[in-house]
């Protein structure tokens, strides 16, 4: 591909803001999402090619599959979404003649010279060093082990887009750090309960929420919620719900003669619901389970607001479920909370979890499910609560090796 043709391609790919405005989809018009996912590069020896793309170019491997006539491994640069499908066809296949025929693949970087130096030091062959063209871009190219040719370019509009992408990525990392601080940083002290929790977001930020509240007078609150939706929107609603819960907790706790959830947590959660309803969109809601534990009496009061049933493992091996007692939070202003109560004994263990645990899928589409969760908790039950939580999460991750589609959140509390 000639440099002038490359220049025209890049100008068309990264138009000016004015041109972008003229060619964009009319405002209000919506259609199916579409983008280029991957393209094929035919290679002769897959292992040698993987060494080239992974170890010399620094790409990452995404998948590996074998069919009757070929093996295909998808790889991608560390930045960006474009995917190369490395295909090693058998000699008798029609695709075998395409090995080394890739000629018109253009890669963009914000520093061509630095990338040229890096890859050259790793043994990548460039026919010529970076050259600055009359149209302002810097261009070079390299060849893989089979003769497939790639063009490497850098120019101002692409650099601006890369900078914007990095800024967005930095903001997401910052949002993740901020959200991590919203999870409990202090464990209210109790004598008869060993408890722990963890949240593993599917994306940078998530919509699961868990908390440990000091309710005063020897009581703590265990809170676990799942916000509708994913990503940034769910994370914003999660922080909204957390703020209401904690602010109300501090408000009630500052009144020494008015217990937070006396005689049960209904009043507290009804107030939370009104505030959450008034500060979220009409379709927003959250499932939530609230457990108030009395340290002296070893008694728990709970309200399950449309959430998955909590699991209460008795010391004799029996498992009790704490099912939903009322509807979800946030859909209705006038909402009635109903609570339940259980007496717990030394050796009993309580588990609260979100559907990201039980609805994690393996490669065949099978769910991790409640039965596997129960089996995991039983296996690790003698361990401290924190170790039980970590072991269960590790088993879920091992079961579901593919990309997570939902947050994984778990609380375990053991009666000493």
What are the counts of helices (DSSP H) followed by strands (DSSP E) for the chain?
Answer: 10, 18
Is 60 exceeded by the pLDDT of residue 42? yes
In this structure, are 185 and 139 located in the same domain? Answer: no
CA pseudo-torsion sign 235, 240, 241, 242: positive
pLDDT score at 108: 87
R_g of the chain computed on alpha carbons: 28
pLDDT score at 171: 75
pLDDT score at 205: 81
Looking up residue 122, the CATH number of its domain turns out to be: 3.10.180.10
In this structure, are 337 and 213 located in the same domain? Answer: yes
Neighbours of 2 (CB within 10 A): 7
What's the pLDDT tens digit per position in 58-77?
Answer: 999 988 988 878 999 999 99
Is 50 exceeded by the pLDDT of residue 390? yes
In this structure, are 75 and 185 located in the same domain? Answer: no
pTM of the model: 0.67
Is 60 exceeded by the pLDDT of residue 254? no
Looking up residue 215, the CATH number of its domain turns out to be: 3.60.40.10
**Average pLDDT for residues 373-401, to the nearest whole number?**
94
Percent of the chain with pLDDT over 90: 62
pLDDT score at 28: 52
Mean of per-residue pLDDT scores for the chain: 86
pLDDT score at 22: 38
Which one has a higher pLDDT value, 272 or 206? 272
Residue 172 lies in a domain: no
Neighbours of 171 (CB within 10 A): 12
What's the pLDDT tens digit per position in 8-17?
Answer: 445 444 444 3
In this structure, are 254 and 335 located in the same domain? Answer: yes
pLDDT score at 160: 67
**Average pLDDT for residues 372-391, to the nearest whole number?**
96
**Average pLDDT for residues 335-340, to the nearest whole number?**
94
In this structure, are 89 and 230 located in the same domain? Answer: no
In this structure, are 86 and 224 located in the same domain? Answer: no
How many degrees, rounded to 5, is the angle at CA 376 between CA 344 and CA 182?
70
What's the pLDDT tens digit per position in 92-113?
Answer: 999 999 999 998 788 988 899 9
Whole-number Å distance between alpha carbons of 322 and 289: 10
Number of domains in the chain: 2
Q: Which residue segment(s) compose the domain that 44 sits in?
A: 36-162
What's the pLDDT tens digit per position in 19-36?
Answer: 333 334 445 556 776 777
Sequence-distant (6+) residues with CB within 8 A of 50 are 61, 73, 75, 86
Q: Which of 162, 190, 220 is the last residue of a domain?
A: 162
């Amino acid at each position: 591909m000639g440099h002038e043709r490359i220049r025209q391609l890049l100008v068309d790919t990264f138009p000016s803001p004015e041109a972008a405005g003229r060619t964009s989809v009319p405002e209000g018009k919506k259609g199916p999402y579409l983008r280029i996912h991957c393209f094929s590069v035919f290679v002769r020896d897959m292992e040698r090619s993987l060494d080239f793309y992974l170890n010399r170019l620094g790409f990452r491997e995404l998948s590996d599959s074998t069919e009757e006539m070929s093996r295909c491994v998808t790889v991608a640069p560390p930045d960006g979404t474009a995917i190369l499908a490395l295909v090693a066809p058998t000699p008798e296949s029609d695709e075998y003649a395409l090995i080394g025929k890739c000629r018109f693949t253009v890669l963009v970087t914000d520093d061509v010279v630095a990338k040229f130096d890096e890859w050259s030091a790793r043994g990548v062959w460039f026919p010529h060093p970076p050259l600055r063209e009359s149209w302002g871009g810097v261009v070079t190219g390299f060849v893989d082990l089979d003769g497939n040719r790639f063009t490497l370019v850098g120019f101002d509009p692409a650099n601006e887009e890369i900078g914007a992408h990095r800024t967005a990525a930095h903001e997401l990392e910052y949002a993740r750090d901020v959200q991590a601080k919203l999870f409990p940083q202090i464990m209210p002290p109790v004598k008869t309960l060993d408890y722990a929790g963890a949240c593993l977001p599917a994306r940078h930020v998530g919509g699961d929420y868990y908390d440990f509240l000091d309710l005063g007078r020897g009581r703590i609150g265990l809170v676990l919620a799942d916000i509708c939706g994913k990503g940034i929107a769910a994370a914003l609603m999660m922080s909204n719900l957390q703020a209401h819960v904690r602010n109300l907790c501090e408000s009630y706790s500052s009144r020494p003669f008015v217990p937070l959830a006396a005689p049960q947590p209904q009043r507290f959660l009804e107030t939370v619901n009104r505030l959450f309803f008034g500060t979220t969109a009409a379709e927003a809601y959250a499932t939530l389970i609230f457990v108030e534990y009395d340290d002296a009496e070893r008694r728990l009061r709970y309200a399950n607001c449309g959430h998955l049933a909590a699991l209460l493992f008795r010391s004799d091996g029996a498992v009790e479920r704490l099912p939903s007692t009322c509807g979800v939070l946030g859909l209705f202003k006038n909402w009635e909370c109903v609570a339940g109560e259980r007496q717990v004994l030394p050796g009993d263990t309580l588990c609260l979890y979100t559907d990201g645990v039980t609805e994690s899928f393996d490669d065949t589409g099978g769910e991790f499910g409640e039965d596997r969760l129960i089996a995991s908790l039983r296996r690790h039950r003698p361990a401290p609560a924190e170790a039980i939580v970590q072991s269960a999460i590790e088993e879920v991750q091992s079961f579901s090796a593919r990309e997570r589609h939902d947050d994984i959140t778990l609380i375990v509390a053991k009666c000493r």
